[in-house]
Amino acid sequence: MKIALINENSQASKNELIFNVLSKVAKKYGDEVINFGMFGDNDAHSLTYVKAGLLAGILLNSKAVDFVITGCGTGQGAMLALNSFPNVLCGHITDASDAFMFREINDGNAASFAFAKGFGWGSELDLENMFDKLLSTSGGNGYPKERAVPEKQNKQILDEIKNVTHNDMLSILKEIDQKFLKDTIDYDFFKENFFKMCKDDKIAKHLQKVLNKR
């Protein structure tokens, strides 16, 4: 599984710590972590939690990655921003049981964490536990097991509802403010890596067109 890490500007200073902890856990399960920044407080390219949501929507809908880890001060804003986009199901994770049950019950493809609220001594240990529970399951298996069937049915219904209530990602990318879109993706790491990973030619073509605009 390819996992993207996205940090917004208020918690950019923690990017290296989060990346190292996430990579340690991902390696245990044979997963790959790709760090899309921000890469620290001095990073010239700023990502708000709204931009993090747009970036996650692009990465997941183009199948460049399979899962997104993100967050903000409380984790709430990033979670809301990611859930604004089609084919993105982001949970707000506060502890290890949240992480496990979100994957087992809701079978999401993104998770948002609080990187400021309650973040102090030993928080990297809590993060490691949460990441471990999040990645230890393939997702969608149900919890407890006797609830597996109705939970899978509810997840399917939710996916079908989202298909009705959300435009497809390409339409969104064409209709969204193009300056905001360019501001989100116009940085070296994205441009050097996304197009090699993207599996949707139409999304790639539109984003290249946006980046080429002066």
The identity of residue 108, as a single letter, is G
Q: Cα angle at 11 between 10 and 17, to 5 degrees?
A: 165
- Considering its fold, how many domains does the chain have in total? 1
CATH of residue 64:
3.40.1400.10
Mapping DSSP to helix (H, G, I), strand (E, B) and coil, where does residue 68 land? strand
What domain range includes position 132?
Answer: 2-212
Average pLDDT, consecutive stretches of 10 residues, N- to C-terminus, the chain (214 residues): 97 97 98 98 96 98 98 98 98 97 97 96 96 95 92 93 94 97 98 98 98 88
Q: What is the pLDDT of residues 147-161, one digit of tens each?
A: 999 999 999 999 999
